[in-house]
Every structure is written in C-alpha cells, then in structure tokens.
Amino acid sequence: MLNLVLFGPPGAGKGTQAGFLIEKYNLIHLSTGDLLRSEINAGTKLGLEAKSYMDKGELVPDEVVIGMIKSKLETVKDAKGFIFDGFPRTVDQAKALDNLLDGNKTPVLGMLSLEVEKQELIDRLVSRGKVSGRADDQDPTVIENRINVYNQKTLPLIEYYRPLGKHFGINGMGSIEDIALRLKEVIEKL
C-alpha cells in the first residue's frame, strides 16, 4: 500500500497537494484538520474541545487526533493507500500511527516534507483567511503561533523519519503544478 505522510508548516500546501495526489494515485485522504473542522461544524463535544485549541493556533491533544485517525482507519477497507495530511504532528502521533499501521502490515513509505519560506507561509494563510472564514487564518498573532508551534513540536518529526530513510524534503515554493511534479518524482521512486 502506498501510505504517505504529507508534511510541512501551516500554509505549506499540504491540503492543496493532497487533492492532486489522491486523484493521481487513487489514495484515501485523511486530513486531521478537515476531520476536526467537520466536528466543529457538526457541533459535537469533540469539535467544541478542538475549537478552543485551533482558534489559538495550538495543537489539539494527541489522544483526540489519534482516536479520530484510528476510527477512520477501521472503517476503510480495500484501500490502495492513504495520504496522511497534517498528521502526525508530534512524535507521539507518529508512534501511534506506526502502531496502527503495523496491525495492517502496511507501513508509511515516505514522509514528503514541503519546504516553504516563512513570509510566503504568512502571505498564503492571510489570503486564504480573507475567503475561508477560518478563525486561525485571520489573526496574525495566531498565524505566528501556528508557525512557532510547528517549529517546536512538529519539525522534530523529521528526525523520527530521517533515520528510517523515509524523509524526503521537497521545495514547496513556486506554482502548485510545479510542486505537484516534484512530489510525483519522489513518489514514483518509492
């Protein structure tokens, strides 16, 4: 199975590129950000709890997102592979994902890490904020916090995957089509 982790800071283009990849490789897209926003829109207890973290640009607690991914994986049968978008975001989430996939004997094949300059990230998120209505894209302090949280808690994940030979850095600057081509080049070699 082609199991990929799409990795990168907020605004790196994970959700955008996942859209191309699921179509091209017939994969199932699991975005914890999207799953959390569905819970918020549905007004569930989990959604209410998650919103209090997301609106501040903080990570939602590990047990909440791990539980969500676990139940999603249990419902999917006969997948060609998964794109994990925005998950894992901590080392504990990465370990939990390995355990979950181990049960199915289908490990993560690659962590595709989109690399984008900080000012470009801010510009992308601010422009999305003008149309998305996402609270976490509108306040510059929250955007700054999301990038700081990424640097502190999520970036160290590269050192989790690198020794396993699974980390692939990809230039995430430029047009959406060019970045999609760079991702394709790496995936075809996996």
* Residue ranges in contact with ligand B4P by CB under 6 A: 10-16, 32-33, 36, 53-54, 57-60, 65, 86-87, 89, 93, 124, 128, 136, 146, 176, 179
φ/ψ of 71, rounded to 5, equals -70, -30
Tally the residues of the chain: 190
Choice between 63 and 74, CB closer to ligand B4P = 63
The sheet with strand 28-31 has its strands ordered as 28-31, 82-85, 4-7, 110-115, 167-171
Measured from the CB atom, the residue of 5 and 105 that comes closer to ligand B4P is: 5
**How many other CB atoms sit within 10 Å of the CB of residue 78?**
4
Reply yes or no on whether 124 is catalytic.
Answer: no
| 37 labelled catalytic | no
Nearer to ligand B4P, 36 or 170 (CB): 36
The least CB distance from residue 152 to ligand B4P, in Å, is 13
User: Rounded to the nearest whole angstrom, what is the least distance from the CB of residue 13 to ligand B4P in the complex?
Assistant: 3
Examine the residue annotation and report whether 162 is marked as an active-site residue of this protein.
Answer: no
Out of 70, 128, 162, 182, pick the active-site residue.
128
Question: Which tokens hold the place of 52?
Answer: 């209090």
Which of residues 105 and 124 has its CB atom nearest to ligand B4P in the complex? 124
Separation of CA 68 from chain center: 14
Residue with tokens 């699974």: 166
Name the active-site residue from 70, 95, 134, 166: 134
Tell me, yes or no, if 105 is annotated catalytic.
no
- For residue 143, the minimal CB distance to ligand B4P (Å) is 9
Say whether 134 is catalytic. yes
3-class secondary structure, 10: coil
Cα dist from 140 to 12, 65, 67, 126, whole Å: 17, 25, 30, 8
Cβ-closest position to ligand B4P:
33
Active site residues: 14, 89, 128, 134, 146
